[in-house]
Chain A
Amino acid sequence: MANDTLYKIMRTTRGYLLKEISGLNVEQMLEVPKGAVNNVLWNFGHIVYAHDRITYGACGLESDVPASYAESFKGGTSPSDWEEPPSVDEVMGHIKKGNEKIYTDYAAGAFDNYNGFEMAPGYSIDRVEEAIQFNCLHEGVHLGIILALKRLIGVTA
């Protein structure tokens, strides 16, 4: 996929996500409504964690995403595992910062040594371009869950 298309879809995806932050207070972001297994904050944190892991992480590069996010937000975890909720401001700061840095790092060749991995049986991610495209789908999944959570806690769009 051409870089322009890739950058555009990254920015657009994150733009749709940012629209859904508005109108939520901290209490609502931490609420696990009846019928759900996680909360809005977990979904946002998971997005930050996953995006970092399959781009910077797969190239062995450091980033400013805290190492503790693996324990709080990786797949299979849930708010019920938290001793204390992670900082909402910190997580949302990462979401709002978006993907800007990745564009300059990509152009500088930071992701050239990408260590491919198997995302699921028969589906591997072998280049950062594939990771970025997959991430757009993944952010969509969690945006869908966030929209459903907002409806369950009575926050209208």
Chain B
Amino acid sequence: MLKELKGLTHEQMLLIPVGQSDNVIWNVGHLLCSLSRLTYGFSGHPLPIPDSYLGLFGKGTSAAEWDEPPDVEVVLELFKALPDEVEKDYRAGRFTEYKILELAPEHTVESVEEAVAFHCFHEGLHIGMIISLKQRMGLKVSG
């Protein structure tokens, strides 16, 4: 993901191509919210992100509906820092009490290990969407 974000200007991260409702930073913020919920949230801890982020980036939200764009730098810094925090807290045993999450009728997440494994797939999905956004903007893709 970081390879694909490298070199993008704030303008490019906020651009919503014609016919779409998302932009690059929405995809990044969405993953930040998702990983926070999948680990801290479903283990009964407060989310390590601003309260407003679920309204900006949560499932079903859209960059096209923002009254004001979020601070891109803040989103990026939180996104980059979160995996290390999750690992540190995992090793400290903070995620042992896990509430079962039904993501879809045929898909339940029953432990933080399953949650992190799912997150890798989910992050891949949004990397793919960012790749497509970059192609639409005529930008080079790292691949």
Chain A residues in the interface with B (C-beta under 8 A) = 1-2, 5-6, 8-9, 12-13, 15-16, 35-37, 75-76, 133, 136-149, 151-152
B34-42, B58-66, B90-98, B110-118: which lies at the interface: B110-118
Q: Say how far A17's CB is from chain B's closest CB, in angstroms.
A: 10
**Cβ contact within 8 Å between A12 and B126:** no
B107 touches A15 (CB 8 A): yes
8 A-B pairs with CB atoms under 8 Å apart are A36-B132, A76-B143, A136-B120, A140-B126, A140-B127, A140-B128, A147-B129, A148-B129
Collect the chain B residues with CB atoms within 8 Å of residue A75's CB. Answer: 143
Residues of A within 8 A of B113 (CB): 1-2, 5
Contact A138 B114 (CB under 8 A): no
Chain A residue contacts of B127, Cβ below 8 A = 137, 140-141, 144
CB pair A148–B114 under 8 Å, yes or no, is no
Closest Cβ–Cβ distance, residue A151 to chain B (whole Å): 7
Please tell me which one of the listed residues A140, A149, A152 contacts residue B125 in the complex, with CB atoms under 8 A apart: A140
B67 touches A (CB below 8 Å): no
Looking at chain B's contact residues, the main secondary structure is helix
- With most chain B CB atoms within 10 A of its CB, the pick from A5, A16, A144, A148 is A144
| Inter-chain residue pair count (beta carbon < 8 A) | 89
User: Which residues of chain A are near B111, meaning CB under 8 Å?
Assistant: 5
Q: Give, as a whole number of angstroms, the nearest-CB distance from A155 to chain B.
A: 13
Find chain B residues with CB under 8 A from A35 CB. 17, 135-136
* Known contacts A5-B114, A143-B125; is-contact A149 B132 (Cβ 8 Å): yes
Q: By the criterion CB–CB under 8 Å, are A144 and B126 in contact? A: yes
- B residues near A13, Cβ cutoff 8 Å: 121
Q: Which residue of A lies closest to B122 (CB)?
A: A140
Say if the beta carbon of B52 comes within 8 Å of chain A: no
- Chain B, range 49-84, C-beta contacts under 8 Å to A: none
Partner of A1, one of B19, B117, B118: B117
CA distance A5 to B116 in the complex (A): 10
Query: Residue B44 at the A interface, CB < 8 A?
Result: no
Query: In the assembled complex, which residues on chain B have CB atoms less than 8 Å from the CB atom of A12?
Result: 106-107, 118, 121
